[in-house]
Amino acid sequence: MVSADRLLAFAAMSFLLIVVPGPSVLFVIGRALAQGRRAALTSVVGNTLGAYVLVLAVALGVGSVVERSVLVFTVLKLAGAAYLVYLGVRAWRTRGVLADAFAADAAGHGGLRTFWEGFAVGVTNPKTIVFFAAVLPQFVDRGQGHVAAQMLLLGLVFNVIAVTCDSVWGLAASTARSWFARSPRRLSLVGGAGGLTMIGLGVTVAVTGRKE
């Protein structure tokens, strides 16, 4: 299996990638600001499982196809970008009724739709696709065999770090949202900010990180 030094080196590199806000982090922050703590944490879970699907793809050999094909990579990237813009527009349009949504948070706001939205962002995150396709295989000791199992273990390490860091971001953002919730006007403003964050993120994903 994976040696301890390879595991620690991969964990350190993963942390450096994850701690810098990217599509996943900004999506969770936008969700926290627009909908609150429960939606943010549900998004984190969905996002993490979406990222692990990418690990499975790399372990099964699909990742190399995505990494080498400009067309496949671009399609995935633009699909994720378009979805982020759609979610941001929806959050912007409903910002005026966020006070009611906030009051209903305790009754179970979030749920399956929020989970799948997070999953969609995680599985189309271009930064994670490139990292898993290009970096993950480098930490596998092929001499030890069980290459797929090693990749799955390394991917699990990445996702444990990701779910921890993203949850911290989400909880911090949702705490700030509580202050805004004392005023309907403040809450409307923060809901709009969350929507604009996701729209801007979608545009950024679409125009950056092109694979030549």
- Does residue 71 carry a pLDDT above 80? no
- Does residue 101 carry a pLDDT above 60? no
* Whole-number Cα distances in Å, 129 to 62, 99, 116: 11, 37, 18
181 pLDDT band, cuts 50/70/90, is low
**Identity (one letter) of the amino acid at 131?**
F
Please tell me whether the overall predicted TM-score, pTM, comes out greater than 0.75 for this model.
no
With a pLDDT cut of 90, the percent of the chain lying above it is: 12
pLDDT score of 96: 59
Q: What is the pLDDT of residues 113-127, one digit of tens each?
A: 888 888 988 888 766
- Does residue 107 carry a pLDDT above 90? no
